[in-house]
């Protein structure tokens, strides 16, 4: 195998002798992994073991930060990192001495290989574990396939296709030197003000559980010992998507029943079904206890109850935040003690931790067994991933994997299924030849915002914008583009006037609006990590731009490219069509073009409720019965668009809802079936959704909860019989005291095209 540098020596040839041993047992791949781990640990000092618990930012990341960032920016930000008193050259020496076990923010395979070569010079030659924020593709690596963002993928209601995308992401990660994805984010997102909605799967615990489990299966290929696997990291434990004021890391108060019924459910499902190997706590506190020192969550619940058997990594600077932000520790040393004793196994990121933890162990404040436990799990992952045998990557191999045709096709298919048609007065699909001149404008029409957060600059030939998609599919029409710039904050009077003037000459206007999550626009981005808002209307002068175009009388199609729900009641009432594209990734523009011109029939459904106004937060579909008993006087009580909603170019009719039995007893299951007919003239796909509501209960329950969904493809005129199964687990819930309850009584089973009552057929089921 050829490498990116010449000085690499095969591992077995480079092994130093250990007391006369030519090759110690831990370097023998024929031995069981457990034996290799124990042999290696027997040779390690306390400091060696703690080193495996230490993660640092990549050298190039540190070097860039050394030039550009202040200490205050480091402490108050979540994207850049340097180490006061430790130059990047000192980090190089630490790796050679075996004092660092893991890196993150390593974004080139050349740097990954270089770091591994440094680690191979260390006394024990332990390879490095390299993690990266591969949230929807390995987007921090230039040239990667960027899949639709999680909120976009959730709109597809296609866990199997998302699992395939995650499998391919793992392939691209391993080909470029990374072994650990800081994904999936399985937080429940109920507050659209929160900037990180786009990296979640939405508001519903069942849908989030299905998509989260698919993520882990794809990344870990079912087992971390399989070829090409990477470690998955389920995060963030717990409640960050429902913070008190909608901002990242703000406090959360949750009763134990609600915590278990909603916020813990995706973690329980992922751990019990797919065994993710790593887990990350949340920035915030829950019920007065910061998550990074919450022993009940990390040790009692996810380890003790759910059986989590991997290691827990802190989030960026969040152990230090126990002292600096939360004030539950006097200093960093006490913070390290609290975190490790509560269950943290690896520190992200930087110095001070290792020396402080060694002192805490010697003082008896942290049991040495905790260090052994953490080190053992980290080493186990490195052995299972095969890093002791093959720590390097070959650039030639990467070239055949990254952004391959197969990966592009998966990204395209996922984008096609994820775009949600919210409004259509009949203008879509656009008729061939009807429009001679089409205007495309708007700040998101032709830039990389289409790929969402956690993406660095990509080659221009690797992504398709909405403008690209319209041009590709316009079928002879002249496409006039008015560039108003990408910056949502800087739309000018001239931009608005130029767009309106072009609209007067056009037969149709496609206006592309929304948010900007693109990481390269860090200073000006309006959505994504640490971009929370107090308002959820269109940022800046986008509304003015749209209204100026609409006043010309030209038919207007609006496309939203955004990572959070936006309150757009004016748009819903005043344009010909509205598409919620979210952040559809590298191939998103092509998918949008295909949908506009009828090459693809839209089939996406909303994974999160869209409010009419910020004042409606949290307007989730699975609310309690009394939530709207006294509505506000200034706007309707219903949200703008409800969970599960999405239009098609055809019409689907539901009929014949049947239960195999009207009664069910503990341990039994009931089959639910319904007929779905494509009544239109266009082939299409429908997401059939099943909900259950508890008619009467000892504690109030949501009016309905999603318990199943099926995506079915139907040709024009075709009928399919769709089946679900309900078990008594689907009828149980955790009471306010955290006790699991299964109460006899009547339940309403609902099946239809969305969570809206008018879209659902209903049947009764009695639990005896």
Residues carrying an active site annotation:
315
Whole-number Cα distances in Å, 302 to 268, 489, 725: 7, 43, 27
Helices assigned H by DSSP within 185-231: 205-220
* CA–CA distance, 181 with 131 (Å, rounded to integer): 6
* CA–CA distance, 66 with 243 (Å, rounded to integer): 33
- Sign of torsion over alpha carbons 738, 739, 740, 742: negative
Cβ proximity of 620 and 190 under 8 Å? yes
* CA–CA distance, 25 with 35 (Å, rounded to integer): 8
Cβ proximity of 235 and 279 under 8 Å? yes
Structural tokens at position 661: 């039995």
**Which residues 6+ apart lie within 8 Å of 494 measured at CB?**
none
* CA–CA distance, 648 with 605 (Å, rounded to integer): 10
Number of H helices, E strands in the chain: 24, 26
Structural tokens at position 468: 């690209």
**Which residues 6+ apart lie within 8 Å of 142 measured at CB?**
107, 456, 457, 458, 459
Tokens 């990341």 correspond to: 61
Tokens 């299966």 correspond to: 217
- Sign of torsion over alpha carbons 285, 289, 295, 297: negative
DSSP category for residue 566: -
* CA–CA distance, 119 with 384 (Å, rounded to integer): 18
Whole-number Cα distances in Å, 121 to 16, 57, 110, 114: 10, 20, 17, 11
Q: H or E element: which one contains 673?
A: strand 669-678
Burial of 221 (0-12, 13-18, 19+ CB in 10 A): middle
Distance in angstroms between the alpha carbons of the first and the last residue of the chain: 65
Question: Which segments of 119-210 are extended strands (E)?
Answer: 129-132, 180-181
User: Any bridge partners for residue 670, and if so which?
Assistant: 726
Burial of 658 (0-12, 13-18, 19+ CB in 10 A): middle
Cβ proximity of 458 and 494 under 8 Å? no
Cβ proximity of 500 and 553 under 8 Å? no
* CA–CA distance, 322 with 293 (Å, rounded to integer): 8
Cβ proximity of 84 and 62 under 8 Å? no
Structural tokens at position 668: 């039994």
User: Any bridge partners for residue 629, and if so which?
Assistant: none
* CA–CA distance, 311 with 102 (Å, rounded to integer): 13
User: What SS3 class is residue 727?
Assistant: strand
Q: Using alpha carbons only, what angle is made at residue 467 by residues 403 and 488, rounded to the nearest 5 degrees?
A: 100
DSSP category for residue 604: -
* CA–CA distance, 546 with 17 (Å, rounded to integer): 72
Cβ proximity of 326 and 283 under 8 Å? no
DSSP category for residue 553: T
């Amino acid at each position: 195998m050829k490498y990116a540098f010449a000085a690499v020596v095969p591992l077995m040839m480079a092994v130093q002798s250990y007391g006369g041993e030519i090759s110690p047992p831990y370097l023998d791949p024929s031995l069981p992994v457990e034996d290799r781990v124990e042999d290696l640990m027997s040779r390690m000092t306390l400091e060696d073991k703690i080193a495996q618990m230490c993660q640092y930012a990549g050298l190039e990341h540190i070097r860039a930060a050394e030039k550009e960032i202040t200490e205050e920016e480091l402490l108050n930000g979540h994207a850049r990192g340097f180490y006061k008193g430790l130059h990047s050259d000192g980090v190089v020496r630490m790796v050679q001495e075996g004092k660092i076990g893991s890196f993150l923010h390593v974004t080139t395979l050349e740097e990954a290989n270089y770091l591994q070569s440094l680690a191979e010079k260390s006394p024990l030659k332990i390879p490095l574990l390299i993690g990266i924020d591969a949230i929807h593709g390995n987007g921090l690596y230039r040239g990667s396939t960027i899949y639709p963002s999680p909120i976009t993928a959730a709109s597809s209601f296609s866990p199997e296709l998302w699992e395939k995308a995650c499998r391919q992401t793992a392939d691209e990660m391993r080909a470029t030197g990374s072994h650990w994805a800081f994904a999936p984010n399985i937080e429940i997102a109920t507050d659209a003000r929160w900037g990180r909605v786009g990296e979640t799967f939405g508001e519903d615990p069942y849908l989030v559980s299905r998509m989260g489990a698919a993520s882990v299966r794809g990344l870990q290929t079912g087992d971390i010992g399989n070829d090409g696997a990477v470690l998955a990291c389920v995060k963030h434990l717990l409640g960050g998507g429902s913070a008190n004021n909608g901002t990242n890391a703000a406090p959360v108060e949750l009763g134990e029943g609600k915590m278990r019924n909603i916020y813990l459910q995706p973690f329980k499902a992922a751990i019990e079904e797919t065994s993710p190997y790593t887990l990350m706590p949340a920035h915030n506190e829950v019920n007065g206890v910061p998550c990074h020192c919450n022993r009940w969550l990390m040790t009692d619940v996810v380890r003790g109850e759910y059986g989590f058997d991997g290691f827990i990594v802190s989030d960026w600077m969040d152990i230090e935040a126990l002292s600096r932000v939360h004030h539950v520790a006097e200093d960093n040393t006490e913070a390290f003690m609290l975190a490790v004793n509560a269950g943290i196994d690896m520190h992200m990121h930087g110095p001070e931790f290792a020396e402080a933890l060694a002192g805490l162990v010697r003082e008896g404040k942290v049991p040495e067994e905790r260090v052994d436990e953490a080190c053992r799990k980290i080493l186990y992952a490195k052995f299972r991933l095969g890093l002791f045998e093959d720590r390097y990557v070959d650039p030639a191999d990467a070239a055949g994997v990254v952004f391959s045709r197969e990966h592009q096709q998966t990204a395209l298919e996922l984008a096609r299924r994820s775009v949600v048609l919210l409004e259509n007065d009949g203008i879509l699909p656009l008729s061939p030849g009807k429009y001679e001149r089409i205007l495309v404008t708007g700040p998101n029409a032709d830039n990389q915002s289409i790929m969402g957060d956690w993406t660095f600059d990509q080659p221009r030939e690797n992504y398709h914008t909405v403008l690209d998609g319209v041009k590709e599919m316009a079928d002879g029409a002249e496409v006039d583009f008015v560039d108003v710039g990408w910056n949502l904050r800087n739309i000018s009077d001239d931009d608005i006037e130029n767009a309106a003037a072009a609209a007067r000459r056009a037969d149709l206007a496609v206006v592309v609006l929304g948010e900007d999550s693109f990481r390269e626009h860090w200073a000006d981005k309006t959505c994504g990590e640490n971009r929370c808002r107090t308002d959820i209307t269109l940022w800046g002068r986008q509304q003015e731009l749209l209204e100026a175009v609409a006043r010309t009388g030209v038919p207007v199609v609006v496309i939203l490219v955004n990572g959070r729900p936006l309150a757009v009641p004016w748009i819903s009432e005043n344009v010909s069509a509205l598409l919620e594209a979210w952040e559809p990734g590298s191939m998103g523009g092509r998918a949008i073009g295909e949908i506009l011109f009828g090459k693809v029939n839209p089939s996406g459904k909303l994974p999160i409720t869209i409010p009419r106004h910020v004042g409606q937060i949290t307007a989730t579909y699975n609310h309690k019965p009394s939530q709207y008993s006294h509505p506000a006087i200034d706007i309707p009580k219903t949200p703008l668009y409800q969970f599960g909603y999405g239009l098609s170019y055809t019409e689907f009719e539901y009929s014949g809802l049947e239960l195999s039995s009207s009664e069910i007893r503990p341990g039994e299951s009931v089959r639910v079936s319904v007929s779905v007919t494509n009544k239109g003239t266009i082939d299409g796909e429908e997401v059939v959704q099943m909900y259950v509501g508890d008619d009467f209960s000892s504690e109030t329950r949501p009016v309905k909860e999603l318990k199943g969904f099926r995506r079915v493809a139907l040709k024009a005129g075709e009928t399919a019989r769709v089946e679900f199964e309900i078990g008594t687990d689907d009828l149980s819930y955790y009471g306010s005291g955290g006790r699991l309850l299964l109460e006899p009584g009547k339940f309403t089973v609902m099946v239809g095209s969305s969570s809206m009552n008018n879209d659902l057929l209903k049947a009764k089921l009695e639990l005896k």
